[in-house]
């Protein structure tokens, strides 16, 4: 009994310590996942507690379950809207991109380590895919708003590329253990089986669960447990019949999350806790499993492989995958850089150890080093690289917090929280009269909080810096209200510098804008730009702003896309609705 209690105590303290240490993450700019790894390593055999842990099978069990939970949570939060701009490139990245990375990196590893090509490709396959836990954690909680095309592509890729990576690792392990028994045909059949069963069961299970949930009436806390248990059942069942459980559970989460009903809305916050707990447990266990001195002994291998992967293999894979979809070079550069590695490579590195592949322990140590380097180099530089590659979008149109309150099984009210920033337009205004452009019937003050105290709103109430106001709204007005609360002089300058000083209606014709009166008189410029439209009789000046931008982009438009009119002027998309229709476009003068 004492032994059992000691295990409970140590396990709980490790999770507690890792979460407390994570409070330094935002302050120091270090990825949260590194703190979990560090706590595990400090508690390990060469750390402070000296816990000897070498149960690779148990670590694999924890890793599989944790990744399934993380992918389920990621799927629940993936909107169908992201499919509009990111699905096709993400699918290519998750298939050809992984294969290309493994091939290019495998050739380098085989030469650099002077090992058999089967071992070189196996090492490359272990670190060949991006990690959903790392991508979801760092992109969604990193405080950086990215171009929707880039963010959607990275998130969908990380959720969909695990099946091929696992298949490659499994196939290459078999090729190392029993070379004579493996053929290209059997590998292809296995690939089709994994993807086919994963897609079919994931979509079918997600559809059935989304129809079942509205008919089930449970205590609020039970819905998350129901969905989690269903997701793990889908994961395990798909694996049992030879499909990709990771792909199935992710797709099931996507289908459930996009069919919003009362039951699923209760789930997200609880599932967020489950996902964070899964990440904490997984990385602490992986930290316990590793022997730091062994990782240090092969540090130069890890550095060389990580450098080649980040600077050569990943860029080649990304460029060949997304360039056909008309991605800009700066977007390709950022996607190449943010090829984050995390728990998946370390978990995959356990498989060769369990299969007794020659040199498996060295592969595990190198993979661990590559993951740490990836999290440090790529994870900590996301804001810097987002600015460098110009994929970051200035944002002042998001509420501080929002909660959906379901008043029946099919009807809900959304509560939005806004904080008055220093110098914002909301300062000194009455919370009920915050905007004359919104009907009073569509917005109601729910609560005003000042210095942690609830304030009664009367006719003389004026908003002050630091106030938090909760509104209940009907209609899509949250972004307009957020701008009133967040629009400080600093934010306003950054937004004007990015989108331009003038906002245009998408339906206005270019030729009707006074800015281009002199430009239109240049016949040479008109004839030169006539080719930009499919209809030669309709030159650019007869097109609406939306028509000109859409025809020039040749890809699904997202906020932040820029189209040049000439050397002096450019059009910058500011708002796009859920169906991809342009709502607001900025006009920017390049001379200033």
CA Rg value for the chain: 26
Note the pLDDT tens digit of each residue in 319-375.
Answer: 999 999 888 899 999 999 988 888 788 888 898 988 888 888 999 999 999 988 988
pLDDT digits (tens, 9 = 90+) for 395-435: 766 788 877 777 666 677 788 888 888 777 888 888 888 77
Other beta carbons less than 10 A from residue 309's beta carbon: 25
Query: Do residues 226 and 235 lie in contact, with contact meaning Cβ atoms separated by under 8 Å?
Result: no
Give me the DSSP letters along 450-472: ETTEEE---TT----TT-EEEEE
The pLDDT of 379-389, averaged and rounded, is: 86
Return the pLDDT at 233.
Answer: 94
- pLDDT at residue 180 is higher than 90: no
Of the pLDDT bands very low, low, confident and very high (cuts 50, 70, 90), residue 278 is confident
Inter-CA distances, 225 with 1, 218, 234, 263, 468, Å = 29, 11, 14, 11, 33
Return the SS3 of 427: coil
pLDDT in tens, 288-308: 888 888 889 999 999 999 999
Nearest to 335 by CA among 310, 308, 353: 310
More confident residue, 279 or 305: 305
What confidence tier does 200 reach under pLDDT thresholds 50, 70, 90?
Answer: very high
Report pLDDT for 25: 60
For 501, half-sphere exposure in the C-beta direction (CA atoms, 13 angstrom radius) is 6
Which domains are assigned to the chain? 57-388 (1.20.1530.20), 401-486 (3.30.70.1450), 499-589 (3.30.465.10)
Which range scores top for mean pLDDT: 6-15, 82-91, 176-185?
82-91
Question: Tokens standing for 314?
Answer: 């990943």
How much is the average pLDDT of 449-455?
A: 87
Least confident of 2-16, 112-126, 385-399: 2-16
Specify which residues 563 forms β-bridges with: 571
> What pLDDT shows up at residue 86?
83
Phi, then psi, of 280 in degrees rounded to 5: -60, -50
Report pLDDT for 520: 59
How far apart (Å, rounded) are the C-alpha atoms in residues 305 and 299?
10
pLDDT reported for residue 101: 94
**38-47, 144-153, 226-235: segment of lowest average pLDDT:** 38-47
pTM value is: 0.81
Least confident range of 163-177, 380-394, 477-491: 477-491
Buried b / exposed e over 189-215, threshold 16 CB at 10 Å, is: eebeebbebbbebbeebbeebbeebee
pLDDT score, position 537: 39
Spatial contact of 399 and 482, defined as CB atoms under 8 Å apart: yes
Residue 536: the pLDDT is: 43
pLDDT at position 16? 79
pLDDT band at 554 (very low <50, low <70, confident <90, very high): confident
Q: Please give the Cα distance from 365 to 286 (Å, whole number).
A: 11
Sheet bearing 401-406, strands edge to edge: 401-406, 412-419, 468-473, 443-450, 453-455
Neighbour count for residue 111 (Cβ, 10 Å)? 11
Q: What is the DSSP letter of 563?
A: E
**Residue 264 pLDDT:** 65
Indicate the average pLDDT of the chain.
81
Average pLDDT over residues 498-502: 78
In the block, tokens 């804008």 appear at: 513
Q: Which residues is 445 bridged to in the sheet?
A: 471
Per-residue pLDDT, averaged over 514-523, amounts to 62
pLDDT of residue 108: 95
Q: Which residues of 233-261 are buried (b: 16+ CB within 10 A; e: fewer)?
A: ebbeebbeeebbbbbbbbbbbbbbbbbeb
Q: What is the pLDDT of residues 19-32, one digit of tens each?
A: 776 666 655 556 67
pLDDT (tens digit, 9 = 90+) per residue, 103-149? 999 999 999 998 889 899 999 999 988 877 677 777 766 667 888 88
Tell me what the mean pLDDT of segment 554-571 comes to. Answer: 82
């Amino acid at each position: 009994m004492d032994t059992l209690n000691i295990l409970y105590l140590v396990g709980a303290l490790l999770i507690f310590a890792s979460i407390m240490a994570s409070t330094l993450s935002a302050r120091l700019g270090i990825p949260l996942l590194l703190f979990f790894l560090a706590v595990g390593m400090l508690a390990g055999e060469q750390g402070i507690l000296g816990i000897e842990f070498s149960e690779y099978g148990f670590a694999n069990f924890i890793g599989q379950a944790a990744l399934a939970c993380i992918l389920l949570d990621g799927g629940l939060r993936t909107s169908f809207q992201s499919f509009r701009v990111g699905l096709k490139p993400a699918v290519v990245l998750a298939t050809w991109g992984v294969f290309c990375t493994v091939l290019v990196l495998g050739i380098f590893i085989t030469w650099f380590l002077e090992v058999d090509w089967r071992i070189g490709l196996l090492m490359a396959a272990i670190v060949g895919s991006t990690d959903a836990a790392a991508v979801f954690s760092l992109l969604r909680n990193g405080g950086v708003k990215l171009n929707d095309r880039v963010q959607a592509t990275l998130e969908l890729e990380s959720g969909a590329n695990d099946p091929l990576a696992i298949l490659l690792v499994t196939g290459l392990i078999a090729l190392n253990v029993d070379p004579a028994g493996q053929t290209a045909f059997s590998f292809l059949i296995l690939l089709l089986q994994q993807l086919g069963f994963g897609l079919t069961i994931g979509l079918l299970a997600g559809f059935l669960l989304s129809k079942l949930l509205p008919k089930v009436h449970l205590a609020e806390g039970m819905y998350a447990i129901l969905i989690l248990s269903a997701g793990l059942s889908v994961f395990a069942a798909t694996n049992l019949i030879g499909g990709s459980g990771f792909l199935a559970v992710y797709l099931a989460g996507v289908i459930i999350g996009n069919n919003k009903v009362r039951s699923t809305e209760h789930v997200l916050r609880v599932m967020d806790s489950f996902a964070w707990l899964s990440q904490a447990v997984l990385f602490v266990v992986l930290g316990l499993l590793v022997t730091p001195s062994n990782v240090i002994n092969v540090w130069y291998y890890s550095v060389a492989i990580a450098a080649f992967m980040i600077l050569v293999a990943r860029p080649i894979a990304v460029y060949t995958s997304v360039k056909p979809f008309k991605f800009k070079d700066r977007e390709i550069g950022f996607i190449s850089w943010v090829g984050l590695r995390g728990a998946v490579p370390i978990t995959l590195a356990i498989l060769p150890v369990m299969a007794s592949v020659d040199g498996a322990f060295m592969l595990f140590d190198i993979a661990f080093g590559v993951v740490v380097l990836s999290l440090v180099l790529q994870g900590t530089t996301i804001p810097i690289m987002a600015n460098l590659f110009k994929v970051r979008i200035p944002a002042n149109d998001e509420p501080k917090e929002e909660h959906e309150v379901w008043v029946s099984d099919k009807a809900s009210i959304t509560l939005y929280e806004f904080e008055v920033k220093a110098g914002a337009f909301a300062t000194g205004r009455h919370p009920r009269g915050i905007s004359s452009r919104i009907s009073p019937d569509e917005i109601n003050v729910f609560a005003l909080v000042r210095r942690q105290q609830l304030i009664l709103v009367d006719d003389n109430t004026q908003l002050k810096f630091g106030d938090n106001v909760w509104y209940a709204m009907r209609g899509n007005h949250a972004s307009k209200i957020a701008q009133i609360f967040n629009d400080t002089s600093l934010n306003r300058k950054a937004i004007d510098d990015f989108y331009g000083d003038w906002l245009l209606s998408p339906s206005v014709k270019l030729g009707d804008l006074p800015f281009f009166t002199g430009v239109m008189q240049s016949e040479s410029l008109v004839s030169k730009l006539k080719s930009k439209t499919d209809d030669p009789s309709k030159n650019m000046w007869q097109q609406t702003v939306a028509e000109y931008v859409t025809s020039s982009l040749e890809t699904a438009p997202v906020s932040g896309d820029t189209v040049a009119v000439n050397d002096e002027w450019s059009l910058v998309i500011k708002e796009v609705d859920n169906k991809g229709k342009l709502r607001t476009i900025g006009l920017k003068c390049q001379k200033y």
